[in-house]
Homo-oligomer: A and B are copies of this chain.
Amino acid sequence: MDLHILDHRLRVTSISKNGLVNYTYPLIKLIFLRNRTRCKFFSLTETPENYTVVLDEEGFKELQPSEHLQVESSIWLPLNVVSNGNVSSSLQAVGVTKIAKSVIGPLAQQHVSVFMLSTYQTDFILVREKDLSVVISTLEEEFNIYKEVEGESVPVRSQDVSNGLQKNAIQPTVHPVLIPQNQFCVMSLDPDTLPSIATTLIDVLFYSNRFPADLLFTSSSGELWRMVRIGGQPLGFDECGIVAQISQPLADGDISAYYISTFSFDHALVSQTSWH
């Protein structure tokens, strides 16, 4: 399998619920007017606590500092697992389950903290730029590792294979979990259809707190997902092993799961059919 280090230098930020009004201008630009910005990676996750915005440095320039914006100090790099030259398809279990044993477990053993962003198509594993050499050393046994540089995939090898790799058994903190009653849809949207639903999405994002029942660009299966929120207190960014702790048992059971980290908490989405 191949592991690609994508050519984005990302910032992880949080906008407070009250502060959204002040960030409507840049967010609409980043979401709906892609040709007005040089931002190439953008993710927005709303939770009851805040909005987590992950975006590259070009996009980050659009966010004016304010009391409503929190910024994690590191640069994060997104990793992407590609099997047989294709982005992992969904024939088998999807999401973090596929990469739990090969990526997430080994990184946790090396005390590398990861920030997960599952999407409909693929899973982005964000690691801190400063951890990159440990990441490469850890994963190069199992993966061919490529760094995307201006559209080219350049093979990379560890600079120094003996740079202090540990094989520690991780003893992660056990965090409380919250399981809300909500059911979730996981959708994918063709960018060309974005303009046609812009007012609806703007309404949902900025002016409403409920998703209208008639706006469902659902996956063809119409599958519904239940969520497990991890963390009773905000998790922070330094603890490692949380994703591993959740994804290992799911992988053992071959249960598909999406995993979405946010500024304060982690979230695993598990298909309702494999819920019990």
Q: What residues of chain A have their CB less than 8 Å away from a CB belonging to chain B?
A: 20-22, 24-25, 28-29, 32-33, 36, 194-196, 198-200, 202-203, 206-208
A196: which B residues are within 8 A, CB to CB? 195-196
22 A–B pairs (Cβ distance < 8 Å), ordered by A: A20-B25, A21-B25, A24-B24, A24-B25, A24-B28, A25-B206, A28-B202, A28-B206, A29-B207, A32-B199, A32-B202, A33-B199, A33-B202, A33-B203, A33-B207, A36-B207, A36-B208, A195-B196, A195-B199, A198-B198, A198-B199, A198-B202
Chain B hits for A206, CB < 8 A: 25, 28-29
Known: A25-B206, A28-B206, A194-B199. 10 other contacts (CB 8 A): A20-B25, A21-B25, A24-B24, A24-B25, A28-B202, A29-B207, A36-B203, A195-B196, A198-B198, A198-B199
Which residues of B lie under 8 Å from residue A28 when comparing CB positions?
24, 28, 202, 206
List residues of chain B with CB within 8 A of the CB of A200: 195
A65 to B21, CA, bound (A): 14
Question: Closest CB-CB distance, A106 to chain B, in whole Å?
Answer: 43
Minimum CB–CB distance from A89 to chain B (whole Å) comes to: 31
Give the CA-CA distance A20 to B177 in the complex, in Å: 42
Measured in the bound complex, the distance between the Cα atoms of B32 and A199 in whole Å is 7
Distance in Å from the Cβ of A212 to the closest Cβ of chain B? 11
Docked Cα-Cα span, A21 to B21, in Å, equals: 10
Q: Chain B: which residue is nearest A32 at the CB level?
A: B199
CA distance A28 to B24 in the complex (A): 9
Select from chain B the residue with minimum beta-carbon distance to A208: B36
Q: What 10 pairs between A and B have smallest CB-CB spacing?
A: A24-B25, A195-B199, A21-B25, A198-B199, A198-B198, A24-B24, A32-B199, A36-B207, A33-B203, A33-B207
